[in-house]
Amino acid sequence: MISNTLPYYPNSAKINSKNHLEIGDYDLVELVERFGSPLYVLDEQTIRETAREYKKALADFYPNSLPIFATKALCLQAVFAIMAQEGFGLDVVSAGELYTAQSIQFPADQVFLHGNNKSKEELQMACEYRNNEGGAKTIIDNFHEIKLLAEIGKPIDALIRITPGVECHTHDYIKTGHLDSKFGFDLEQLDSAIELIQSAKNINLIGLHSHIGSQIFEITPYQDAARIVLEQYVRIKEKYGIEFTHLNLGGGFGIHYTESDDPPNIREVIKQIATTVKSLLSEFNLKEPTLILEPGRSMVGRAGVTVYSVGSTKQVPEGRLYVAVDGGMADNPRPITYQAKYQACLVNRVLVDEESVCTVAGRYCESGDILLKDINLPSDIKQGDLLAVFSTGAYNYSMSSNYNRVGKPMMVLVSNGEAEIVLRRESMEDLIRNDVLPSRLIDISESAKNQISQKSWKEKVH
């Protein structure tokens, strides 16, 4: 049941006089009638207001800063365009994400290329992506990348990613800041990396990068990481005479998926990080670097809602009630991958008198395709009802697949009663677009098709 006190639905969500859920002043029942289901719905108001929260907090507590959107959370041209309008940069991790930025002429000097195994082609793209203000930057993750950049020979600004040894209370698969990580340099490798970069000549080293995890609810780990990183700034300044101009403390800020989640608000996170950094700069007698933060999930997660149509139901004798919907693990792999939990309600009748416990199952051919386990939904839920799952803006589309050869859903951006397609629904033709049928398999005559009769097939089998 939705109410004005629930923290996991978009800023514009409300219940209209028909007892329907609205987002962006658009009735979601009418939205599905127009565009079909499953349907990713993205609330533009939530994205913009969240961006402005970050910008305002940074302006108040650390003006020399640049928030950059972690595009792996949701890589779409429309989202990138909103980020540009709101004064954000981009954190990209592949040639595809970088190309998406280039395709809308996103300011090159605001783009940072990440990744633990960048190809030479990806690094070349970053080196060549430039505008009047400067070029794209890269986060160096290993010695191999330094050698590749040296071979390319083109000038590029770079930061070194380090593992500061800070652990967060998050899922094991998404911890990235501890010492045993595939990402970045351990501190004892840092000097060797710096010296190799200096020998490369074309790499302009501007700072260090640290990222400690994802869906983080605590502020202390960021403060601990800031101290560890800035201690390296002091040491590097003394040993190499380099005073870094940029400090990247990563992202990973958590959001509400359920009422039990308890992330700190954006302003408090920024205030505490900024206050800590300023205090350490004063303590260490360092010049103020540009502070870079990389929110991703917190920028778009709560802006997204996925709407499904209810199909079959199954009551296990003396057991669970299963409610099946027309999507599942292919459009939202997080429950089966991370055991992620979500909240939901019926779109077409939000407020109801009686609820019962049920489990929402996906349509895919996997026993583990369960979207919502043991959730309260209307007791008389039936075929044709529409189910909205909240906080699906981050990583759902990004991690989606065509499992069972099912097309990915459409995504619409809603605002002020208007809905615009920002991602087309995949068609049957899209599903076979990249298939290649060898020529020797094309010319199959009718006689060849039918030459194996049922009898001869049985004989062949036996």
Active site residues: 365
What residue spans of 201-247 are helical by DSSP H?
A: 220-240
DSSP state, residue 445:
-
Q: Give the CA distances from residue 95 to residues 108, 118, 229, 332, in Å, rounded to whole numbers and listed in that order.
A: 14, 9, 28, 24
SS3 239: helix
Evaluate whether 363 touches 324 at the Cβ level (below 8 Å). Answer: yes
Q: Give the CA distances from residue 44 to residues 49, 82, 404, in Å, rounded to whole numbers and listed in that order.
A: 9, 9, 31
Rounded distance between C-alpha atoms, residue 346 and residue 383, angstroms: 12
Rounded distance between C-alpha atoms, residue 178 and residue 210, angstroms: 10
- Supply angle C-alpha 209, 62, 210, rounded to 5: 10
Tell me the two tokens of residue 344: 């939901």
Q: What is the largest CA-CA distance in the chain?
A: 88
Rounded distance between C-alpha atoms, residue 343 and residue 93, angstroms: 30
Q: What phi and psi, each to the nearest 5 degrees, are found at residue 371?
A: -80, -45
Rounded distance between C-alpha atoms, residue 172 and residue 168, angstroms: 9
Taking each continuous run of H as one helix and of E as one strand, the counts in the chain are 14, 22
**Nearest Cα residue to 311 out of 249, 383, 246:** 383
Rounded distance between C-alpha atoms, residue 230 and residue 243, angstroms: 11
SS3 225: helix
CA dihedral 279, 283, 288, 294 (to 10 degrees): -50
Sign of CA dihedral 99, 105, 109, 110: negative
- Supply angle C-alpha 330, 335, 336, rounded to 5: 70
N-term to C-term CA, the chain: 59
**Nearest Cα residue to 123 out of 144, 100, 101:** 144
Tell me the two tokens of residue 234: 């002091």
